[in-house]
Structure 1
Amino acid sequence: MDNAGFLLGQFPNDLDGVVTCEIPRLKEICDARYEPKQCRVILPDAKVLEIPPIENTDAKGLYLNGVDAIAWSYTYGQNGTGLEYTINSLGLYSDSDKVYLLDIVGSALQDLCERKIRIPVDQRDWGAWATFKRRKLYRFMKAQAAGFVTADRETFDFIIQSIMKTWETQRHDFKRFFCHHYLDGQYLLPEDLCIHPQLTNAKINKMQKYISALKSDLDLEFFQTKLKRAIEEMYNRKK
């Protein structure tokens, strides 16, 4: 679940579930219950299964919230370089009548309460951290748009420089991230295409806050020629 928002008293923006079974097996179960196109393995290493929101899932007209099912080892089996930010390193585990809060890095809850964005490893390991799951770099602005601030200037400078240095080889990571989180869509390669539904006003407002954070943080020319262009290549495409 979106534990950061939940612990701050907000309704979760999205749902993430950690599962102990293999993702390919979970996809088989999902395909049997829904249409195969609704059950998408979004990473080549088959660690995450994405199920988008589904309406009218049966005769009663029930609605299924979107959920990302993640292999247990992909989160709890990682060292610090495999994590995102400290505020994204909290887990909730329910066992009968008890709910446990799992602070994977030991400082996640404090940073969450103080609304601080912090890299969860020592500074000498930042390079390794940034090269593992590069989409985490773009989550930085997502946290900013939600009201979080950078823990220190060194963190801010490192994130921005990493985005600019790796853009040419990692732009598809940004497109996949943006398509999934802000367009509720599916990013296709090699087509370089985001298939997404018509956006609600709430989704458009959320997207605009994120774009404003990008524009504020990045060099203006870089933003306009790289990020803005990438967004325009995806946005307004309908199912």
Structure 2
Amino acid sequence: MSATMPMTALGQVRAAVQANFLPGLVLWSCLAALLAAYASSASVQAGLAQWGLVKQAWGYPFAFASYVVFAVVVPEALGFLVLKQTWSPGKWREMGYAALVFGTVGVTVDMFYALQVSLFGEGHDSATLAKKMVFDQFVYSPVSNWFVVALFAWRENGYHASTWRVALSAHFMSTRYLPMLVALWCVWIPSVLVIYFMPTALQFPVASIVLSFWILIFKFIRKS
């Protein structure tokens, strides 16, 4: 059994990368459009700047609310209005749980961006961008995403404590978490480079938009 595990994990990784190739292209196209709009439109620059100022004024509560809106409310609303998804009786409860998870992630992202500035500064040169990308994707992201996956698995398994033991097992890590993490790297490494290319005050707003795009894309792919 152990001899076949590496091949199983490798196959899962390959399948995850292939499945995320199209969503990645769509997301990168959206990011290119956002960059073009930011570079050419004073109104887009002013809008993002105002958003950044409000976030700085309200701090972590605003970070929490922003991720709730862009990771939960907007994707669910568009899924209901555009994709004609059914509204199940337990939908409000599911959204409430997702809001707690993603809102907390929003606060940790805000804290992490501040840590990045303290460690590497606010420069936009290639060396600084590379350092922030590596620290983001290969230190923060693996831990943060594991907690998100484990929290949703915990809910799906009826909040049983055994879920956490399973989530820490080698089998779960190799066959479920590693493929997802590799797929995320393929899509998010270019995305975080765009985020860190932005002025510091605009990085969190842009990250919120990218997250919303990501979730919306997967809703459309799953629907089709």
Normalising TM by the smaller chain, what interval?
Answer: under 0.3
TM-score under structure 1 length normalisation:
0.24
TM-score under structure 2 length normalisation:
0.25
Determine which structure has the larger strand proportion and give its number.
1
Determine which structure has the larger helix proportion and give its number.
2
